[in-house]
Structure 1
Amino acid sequence: MERWPWPSGGAWLLVAARALLQLLRSDLRLGRPLLAALALLAALDWLCQRLLPPPAALVVLAAAGWIALSRLARPPRLPVATRAVLITGCDTGFGKETAKKLDAMGFMVLATVLDLNSPGAQELRACCSPRLKLLEMDLTKPEDIKRVLEFTKAHTTGTGLWGLVNNAGLNSVVADVELSPVATFRNCMEVNFFGALELTKGLLPLLRHSRGRIVTVGSPAGDMPYPCLAAYGTSKAAVALLMDTFGCELIPWGIKVSVIQPGCFKTESVTNVNLWEKRKQLLLANLPGELLQAYGEDYIEHLHGQFLHSLRMAVPDLSPVVDAIIDALLAAQPRRRYYPGRGLVLMYFIHYYLPEGLRRRFLQNFFISHCLPRALRSGQPGPAPAQDTPQDPNPSLVAAR
């Protein structure tokens, strides 16, 4: 059957007109996502010309282009006005940078820190407006949470509380589950789960009144079995499920709930090598003799070295996570999940769609590649790589936040 040389020209004109309009309105960014969408549309055009009659090809391409541009468009944002937001864990990292950005945008920011005299707290005092209030809070101390709740209620009577950002988190050990003290699991749950639960529940009356937002920083370690991050990962899995439950239950109240699942970023707590060295020494000092004999000190040293190697791949630019938090606070229709960071799409695809053996090997290759414990080495003096474990890891994701 004879084909028109360019049957979809009208569709391309429609796509170009809409893209130009969105660019002029700043609803669309020039970048890789837009270029990738246009390349896919060109491939679709080529297929349609060979498989469909011209009218059908035009309709399919126009519809695909319209949907693609709709997905790429920035969602409409709510005005900042005098909105108030409480952010936990602002001593360092995501919390500190988000507090600075929201303050610059005109928010009233209530920023909690572990120490009012920490370098992060001093930086926030120096660079932010008088609107920002610093509050000392340890999420493991109910009296601290109660004091923050009372302060928030007293200081948001005029503006109301628009948002809560559960950012504070803890990871104190990198080791196999058998080597990790049960106390580390409890500590992670106290901060990452129970602390976030108690604070969120305490602020719900204010958030219900404002029909506001709850944003929680989780981790892909809560979705996938990252080696040696069981204590941290299980607490993040628990808080993510909790927030999903809140998201369902709070729909009638108009509250929207989002979880941010970042990749590995270069925050101060993640890249503090001296801190991780102290934690490794503490683990070795308190490990029962039988376990130390079975696994070997060199096994723990190997894991520690692999973990530190993974931190070298951390991304220094924290803005993707900060932008995701801001979008969750201000988008008219925020996403339930945000995945800022390199390689996360591939990681999740492998986790959900490839066989279990490949998933396990991929995580080990990109994070921590195990060696055989001493008791399994058949008399070898040093650590021998496990036979099914790839070596020379090229890690890219997830450590403690």
Structure 2
Amino acid sequence: MERWPWPSGGAWLLVAARALLQLLRADLRLGRPLLAALALLAVLDWLCQRLLPPLAALAVLAAAGWIALSCLARPPRLPVATRAVLITGCDSGFGKEAAKKLDAMGFTVLATVLDLDSPGALELRACCSSNLRLLQMDLTKPADIRHALEFTKAHTTSTGLWGLVNNAGFNDVVADAELSPVATFRSCMEVNFFGALQLTKGLLPLLRRSRGRIVTVGSPAGDMPYPCLGAYGTSKAALVLLMDTFSCELLPWGIKVSVIQPGCFRTGEESVRKVDHWERRKQLLLANLSQELLQAYGEDYIEHLYGQFLHSLRLALPDLSPVVDAIIDALLAAQPRRRYYPGRGLGLMYFIHNYLPEGLRRRFLQAFFINPCLPRALQPSQPSPTPTQDAVQDPAPNLGLSPTEAQ
């Protein structure tokens, strides 16, 4: 029996009318999610016409279209008005781009930089309004954090502080955890965890008063064991757990906490300078390895790791707008998400990490980021290493620390 086409057409007209209205109000974006939803609706339409009576098909298709458009709609946003926000790590990358975008939207932006004369700081001075204030802050120095707290209180007396964006991050070693100096783990924790903790705690009285927002840039390396990012990933895992704790504890105060887990983006300076920087870090790592570790792993192994890492940097996305958009949504959405995952392939990555066997997870991360070769001692042609005097002594790495500090 031939089906009447009008119920299906009526449902599509309803869906099209609502989609057009949402597009005109900028509540909906043209993109792959919308196209995927329309494709699924078309499949559902085909099934309904063959399995259901006309009126039931109309009801199911219209309801499915309405729900899909509701899910795709942007959440309502709060007005910018005179809101003030503090962003850390604005010398480059996400921090710098977020500061520029928020300033253009009308926010009062307090942007922290490591160096007030850095290229990023000079760019912000040149292209932003007088509402943007720059201040120097090193998150490893309590005196700098205290000064930032006083600066923030002094510059938000009339507006209050609406948001804190914990963006600053640090990592300077790409190597297995055994090869990474303990000092590197401490440095990552000082910047990525303890610095963010001290700054956030210091600003909580202002944020409680405004019932504002805390937005923190984490990393998927804190959720899954990325090869050769043990120090960085460990610090980010601690930071994200801290933010989840804050999210629960600060809910009665009206403070909303969001964590952004970005994919692989090109956030540093120009590629030539990045290559020079990582070449210096590699040479310093090699110079400070014990003889036993150098024999076990081999210089070729470390050269391979850094070559793979630089290759992944070249493949990183140069457009930082997905992360900046996530920061803005976390600051202004009436009901912000607790997690944002901007970037290419993150959905597949988290699916594999959460649901597939451990061996497949490991191989996927290696193929995606760094695929290490076999250490020298594990290669078939190499004899097993024997303990050396260097291995017994296990000297502290020479990274500018006194022996007491290294211990």
Q: Same fold (TM over 0.5)?
A: yes
Aligned counterparts, 1:252-271, within 5 A: 252-268=252-268, 271=271
Question: Can you give the 5+ residue segments of structure 1 that lack an aligned partner in the other structure?
Answer: 382-401
User: Equivalent residue for 2:158?
Assistant: 158
Deviations 1:256-290 (A, max 9, x none): 11111111111125941111111111110101110
CA deviation after TM superposition for structure 1 residue 28, in Å: 1.3
Cα RMSD (Å) of the superposition? 1.5
Identify the match of residue 353 of structure 1 among 349, 352, 355: 355
CA deviation after TM superposition for structure 1 residue 249, in Å: 1.1
1:270·1:311 contact (CA, 8 Å) conserved in 2? no
CA deviation after TM superposition for structure 1 residue 7, in Å: 3.6
Q: State how far apart, in whole Å, the 2-side matches of 1:147 and 1:76 are.
A: 36
Letter in structure 2 aligned against 1:340:
P
Deviations 1:99-122 (A, max 9, x none): 111111111110000011111111
User: Equivalent residue for 2:392?
Assistant: none
Q: State how far apart, in whole Å, the 2-side matches of 1:96 and 1:5 are.
A: 54
Q: State how far apart, in whole Å, the 2-side matches of 1:113 and 1:267 are.
A: 15
Letter in structure 2 aligned against 1:86:
L
Q: State how far apart, in whole Å, the 2-side matches of 1:358 and 1:262 are.
A: 22
CA deviation after TM superposition for structure 1 residue 50, in Å: 2.6
Instruction: Return closer, same or farther for 1:269/1:171 CA change in 2, 3 Å cut-off.
Output: farther
User: Equivalent residue for 1:115?
Assistant: 115
Q: State how far apart, in whole Å, the 2-side matches of 1:307 and 1:285 are.
A: 19
User: Equivalent residue for 2:276?
Assistant: 274
Q: Percent of counterpart pairs with the same letter?
A: 86
User: Equivalent residue for 1:237?
Assistant: 237
Letter in structure 2 aligned against 1:95:
G
Aligned counterparts, 1:338-349, within 5 A: 338-349=340-351
Letter in structure 2 aligned against 1:121:
A
Aligned counterparts, 1:206-225, within 5 A: 206-225=206-225
Instruction: Return closer, same or farther for 1:256/1:122 CA change in 2, 3 Å cut-off.
Output: same
- The SS at the match of 2:111 is strand
- The SS at the match of 2:259 is strand
User: Equivalent residue for 1:227?
Assistant: 227
TM-score (norm 2): 0.91
Letter in structure 1 aligned against 2:149:
L
User: Equivalent residue for 2:86?
Assistant: 86
1:149·1:202 contact (CA, 8 Å) conserved in 2? yes
Aligned counterparts, 1:11-160, within 5 A: 11-160=11-160
Q: State how far apart, in whole Å, the 2-side matches of 1:195 and 1:31 are.
A: 38
Q: State how far apart, in whole Å, the 1-side matches of 2:63 and 2:224 are.
A: 36
Q: State how far apart, in whole Å, the 2-side matches of 1:80 and 1:136 are.
A: 26
1:193·1:236 contact (CA, 8 Å) conserved in 2? yes
CA deviation after TM superposition for structure 1 residue 171, in Å: 0.8
CA deviation after TM superposition for structure 1 residue 162, in Å: 0.3
User: Equivalent residue for 2:367?
Assistant: 365
Q: State how far apart, in whole Å, the 2-side matches of 1:303 and 1:270 are.
A: 21
1:7·1:49 contact (CA, 8 Å) conserved in 2? no
Letter in structure 2 aligned against 1:245:
T
Question: Can you give the 5+ residue segments of structure 2 that lack an aligned partner in the other structure?
Answer: 384-407
User: Equivalent residue for 2:327?
Assistant: 325
Identify the match of residue 379 of structure 1 among 378, 381, 389: 381
- The SS at the match of 1:177 is coil
Deviations 1:35-69 (A, max 9, x none): 11111110111122233333332222212111111
Deviations 1:107-164 (A, max 9, x none): 1110000011111111111111111111110001111000100111111110000000
User: Equivalent residue for 1:399?
Assistant: none
User: Equivalent residue for 1:289?
Assistant: 291
- The SS at the match of 1:179 is coil
Q: State how far apart, in whole Å, the 2-side matches of 1:380 and 1:56 are.
A: 72
Letter in structure 2 aligned against 1:371:
C
1:99·1:111 contact (CA, 8 Å) conserved in 2? yes
User: Equivalent residue for 2:401?
Assistant: none
Letter in structure 1 aligned against 2:212:
G
Q: State how far apart, in whole Å, the 1-side matches of 2:280 and 2:6 are.
A: 67
Letter in structure 1 aligned against 2:341:
Y
Aligned counterparts, 1:165-204, within 5 A: 165-204=165-204
- The SS at the match of 2:178 is helix
Q: State how far apart, in whole Å, the 2-side matches of 1:228 and 1:6 are.
A: 60
Q: State how far apart, in whole Å, the 2-side matches of 1:117 and 1:248 are.
A: 39
Name the count of aligned residue pairs. 381
Q: State how far apart, in whole Å, the 2-side matches of 1:346 and 1:252 are.
A: 35
Q: State how far apart, in whole Å, the 2-side matches of 1:183 and 1:55 are.
A: 69
Letter in structure 2 aligned against 1:212:
G
Instruction: Return closer, same or farther for 1:142/1:270 CA change in 2, 3 Å cut-off.
Output: farther
Q: State how far apart, in whole Å, the 2-side matches of 1:197 and 1:99 are.
A: 21
